[in-house]
A and B are shown apart, each in its own frame.
Chain A
Amino acid sequence: MCDTCGCNITDANQHLLKPGGKFYRTAEGHEAVTVLKGLLSENDHMAMHNRQHFDRHGVLAINLMSSPGSGKTALLEATLDAIDKGLRVAVIEGDLETENDAERIRKKGIPAIQISTGSACHLDAHMIHNALHELSLDDLDIVFIENVGNLVCPASFDLGQHLNVTLLSVTEGDDKPSKYPVMFRASDLMLLTKIDLLAVLDDFDLDHAEKNLRKLASTAPVIALSARQQTGMNGWLDWLQQQRSEQIERCRQGHTRKPVIQPDGQRLHAGMQAP
């Protein structure tokens, strides 16, 4: 429809143009503007900028999300111990308060930037942008972003990462993907953590957890591990190496990658083209 001939005036909105209607012409004119842009387009713009920044330096950025206490920092500690020492890694830590997690990472000799969000329940692209000013991306291969422990809000904010990894510890219940579909649908990889505790838990079934993920139409791989016991770590480390190789190849070809869930419905309704 055009803006000039009136073909956008339908039976449904005609009353608005009559006296008393919202668009009845007065000295003080009304205008209806169609926008159809994402509510978070400011954040998304900054996220795109961050992603370009990572790509220019050939860095792979991975966003770790989970509920509090599911073992994100412990996983990073175990990963830093076991990962190929040729890989240069940095960590951005998001927490409401304290430098505790960043200090745990720094003890491994790895650069860590702590973002204290105050009362904010998630990281956003602007916070990551500021943190990137403190990192020398030329000297890095992988940046892990440890998001605020929260299975709700972090899923809605693009940070500029290439991949989302969601942790589900076996103490939390295998129905978490059904309870928090927005979060688990956004996962490129689901890690089932603390499996050393399965011996004392009779109510967590690894297969059920995966089935609940599949019900979200997710084809993401699932890896079960224990960071504390260093079991199952090879699958995770192999996945990291694979993703690192793919990122190098993408950067060579001038491509990039966004986390697995594209806002399909949003794109369709906004009439946007597929990327």
Chain B
Amino acid sequence: MHELSVCQEMMKQVMQIAAEKNASSVDCVTVHLGPLSGIEAHLLKQAFPFAAAGTVAEQAELIIKELPVRVHCQQCGADTDARVNRLLCGECGDYHTQLISGDEMLLASLELSRKDQEASYV
């Protein structure tokens, strides 16, 4: 599957940020995933140690926050929960909807350790 490719792409960003922040290690990586991203959370978890091996994030914990599928109806204006293969308005049933949550694949935040001085909170 493609989760390892995705994880390797993500690690490029993680390492870039760690280098910019002069981090000695990355302790935690938080990712936001929606079911319509096409990325499976458990496969991403499995891929992470392979992508992180030998990097400053080798010991990092990967936290995945899974977000719900929700749509905004362009006909009646309602925001409702939906399913991945049924993105119809939960109120009026129309298919002219816009996804407002559920396709995310975001690198949300990192927790870094720094060798140098005191901590800062970002």
State the A residues within 8 Å of B (CB): 3, 6, 8-9, 22-23, 25-26, 28-43, 120-122, 124, 152-153, 155-157, 177-179, 181-183, 185, 212, 214-219, 261, 263-266, 268-270
Contact = CB atoms under 8 A, between A and B. Distances in A.
Contacts of A152: 1-2, 38
B105 A40 contact: yes
**Lowest 8 CB-CB distances: which A-B pairs, in order?**
A29-B119, A153-B2, A217-B87, A156-B38, A182-B38, A178-B85, A181-B85, A265-B101
A29 B117 CA distance: 6
A219 to B, nearest CB: 7
Interface range for B: 35 or more
Contacts of B38: 152-153, 155-156, 182-183
25 contacts: A23-B119, A23-B121, A30-B112, A30-B113, A32-B110, A33-B109, A33-B111, A34-B122, A35-B106, A35-B108, A36-B107, A39-B6, A42-B12, A43-B9, A153-B38, A155-B38, A156-B2, A156-B6, A157-B2, A178-B85, A182-B38, A216-B85, A263-B105, A266-B105, A266-B106
Contacts of A26: 119
A22 B112 CA distance: 10
A121 B99 contact: no
A155 B84 CA distance: 14
Given A33-B17, A40-B9, A3 B104 contact: no
Contacts of A156: 2, 6, 37-39, 105
Contacts of A216: 85, 87
Contact of B116 (A29, A155, A181, A215): A29
Contacts of B118: 25, 29
B41 interface: no
A84 B27 CA distance: 58
A265 B112 contact: no
Interface in B7-60: 9-10, 12-13, 17, 21, 23-24, 27-28, 31-32, 34, 36-39
Given A3-B120, A37-B13, 20 more contacts: A6-B121, A23-B119, A28-B115, A31-B112, A31-B114, A31-B122, A33-B109, A33-B112, A35-B107, A38-B106, A39-B6, A121-B1, A122-B5, A177-B85, A181-B85, A212-B85, A215-B88, A265-B34, A268-B101, A269-B101
Q: Is the interface of B mostly helix, strand, loop or mixed?
A: mixed
Interface of B: 1-2, 5-6, 9-10, 12-13, 17, 21, 23-24, 27-28, 31-32, 34, 36-39, 67, 70-71, 84-88, 95-122
A136 B46 CA distance: 41
Nearest to B31: A39
Nearest to B109: A34
Contacts of A23: 119, 121
A274 to B, nearest CB: 11
B39 A39 contact: yes
Nearest to B97: A217
A266 B103 contact: yes
B83 to A, nearest CB: 9
Contact of B109 (A35, A39, A155): A35
